[in-house]
Homo-oligomer: A and B are copies of this chain.
């Protein structure tokens, strides 16, 4: 009954998914989530749309698969960099170096993770937020390490806020650097680290109360 010869393009499921995610990742990175249609993805992967839906269910889930690949890579890279630092005070600088280095080496992953055309709500936004917070947590952990243990609890919120701010600064600087190419990734990382470190170190040395502003009143 079955006369069809198994074609060479028929791959085991796992392998084909792998291959599909790779191609989709590249396309999403190039065009952004909104602008890349499922037709485009299917054409880029070299399969038909129904297969995409068979494997991933819908566009959102396909993007999630790409996101996972990119996000896991970045988190692992940062975690390793921060973890290797012996001195907690150097953790931020190490993290920034790793961040800029990662983007420099894999701009597609950056594009997927920090795509600005992602749908507002939904699972993707959640997942992106998750990765962002894992990154922030790495920074936050390093910041907390610099505090004496008796002050950690009270400062927790501030530390979280600062880690978010550091991430935001890094993200914006990356975008600017990608757009203008005005300096090297390494220089950008050092510049930002130089600027952030004094303030972060001061916070860990003095009272965390925001109203008590170190350097708040400039003697002149």
- Scoring A89, A167, A195, A217 by chain B CB atoms within 10 A of each residue's CB, the highest score goes to A195
In Å, the complex CA distance between A90 and B211 comes to: 12
In Å, the complex CA distance between A165 and B118 comes to: 22
Tell me, rounded to whole Å, the shortest Cβ–Cβ distance linking A42 to chain B: 13
Q: Does A24 contact B (CB under 8 A)?
A: no
Q: Does A76 contact B (CB under 8 A)?
A: no
| A120-B117 contact given A90-B218, A197-B199, CB 8 Å threshold | yes
In Å, the complex CA distance between A218 and B91 comes to: 12
A133 to B, closest residue via Cβ: B176
Q: A84 — which chain B residues lie within 8 A by C-beta?
A: none
Q: Does A51 contact B (CB under 8 A)?
A: no
In Å, the complex CA distance between A209 and B186 comes to: 13
Q: Give me the interface of A with B, judged by CB distance under 8 Å.
A: 31-32, 34-35, 87, 89-90, 93, 116-120, 157-158, 160-162, 164-173, 175-177, 182-183, 186-188, 190-203, 209-211, 213-218, 220
